[in-house]
Amino acid sequence: MRSMPLSLPGAVLIEPTVYGDARGAFFEAWNERTFAASGIDVRFVQENVSVSRRHVLRGLHYQVSQVQGKLIRVLAGAVFDVIVDLRRSSPGFGRSLSVQLDEREHRSLWVPAGFAHGFLALADDTHVQYKVTDFWAPQAERTLAWNDPALGIHWPLPTGTEPVLSEKDQRGQMLAQAETFP
């Protein structure tokens, strides 16, 4: 496994070692010792999978209590994955970062607690797996506006195409009004 720290403090892109042969391939998606040696020493309590069609945009989500760290992986399809640092004490506060995750490269994104997370599905039948460090708490869930100009996110949507959004995601808060972390 190779871990690559990203430009926002604590965020890490992980590339597993893939062993392939005529039958297919094998790789470790999670190994507590290996990840801890890379600075990701966490306990996961829940695993979720979402299935989306092309141009579905989910996020940018976070919880203000029962704050979650997330390990994101694409099982099928591809996503334009985005995180936003919401920790006021961080030098990255208010900055966004994006990476592409897909089924071919098997990469994972570690999103530390204190970040908002979202993605745009780039293919039909995209399956995204999330391992999280705390349980879902609907009363604590918040949504940051996906299209807040202050975040500088350039979503790769074809000209004239609007993302498919849930009602909750349509009501996301601008960063200037959003609840953040110390």
Which are the contacts of 51, defined by CB distance < 8 A and separation ≥ 6? 125, 126, 127
At residue 105, the 3 state secondary structure works out as coil
* List 19, 62, 117, 130, catalytic entry: 130
- Summarize pLDDT for 109-136 with one digit per residue, the tens: 999 999 999 999 999 999 999 999 999 9
- Band (pLDDT 50/70/90 cuts) for residue 19 is very high
Mean model confidence pLDDT for the chain = 96
Q: Looking at residue 158, what is its pLDDT?
A: 96
Phi first, then psi, for residue 41 (nearest 5°) are: -105, 85
- Band (pLDDT 50/70/90 cuts) for residue 168 is very high
Cα–Cα distances (Å) from 132 to 19, 113, 167, in that order, read 26, 10, 23
Is 125 among the domain residues? yes
Total number of domains constituting the chain: 1
Q: Is 106 a catalytic residue?
A: no
Is 138 among the domain residues? yes
* List 19, 55, 61, 127, catalytic entry: 61
Give the CA angle between residues 152, 157, 159 to the nearest 5°.
Answer: 105
Average pLDDT over residues 32-49: 94
Q: Looking at residue 26, what is its pLDDT?
A: 93
Q: Concatenated DSSP letters for 116-128?
A: EEEEEE-STTEEE
Q: Looking at residue 16, what is its pLDDT?
A: 93
- Summarize pLDDT for 85-109 with one digit per residue, the tens: 999 999 999 999 999 999 999 999 9
- CATH number of 144's domain: 2.60.120.10
> Which residue range forms the structural domain that includes residue 106?
42-177
Q: Is the peptide bond before 60 cis (omega within 30 degrees of 0)?
A: yes
Is 47 among the domain residues? yes
Q: Is 61 a catalytic residue?
A: yes
d(CA 31, CA 3): 13
Is 105 among the domain residues? yes
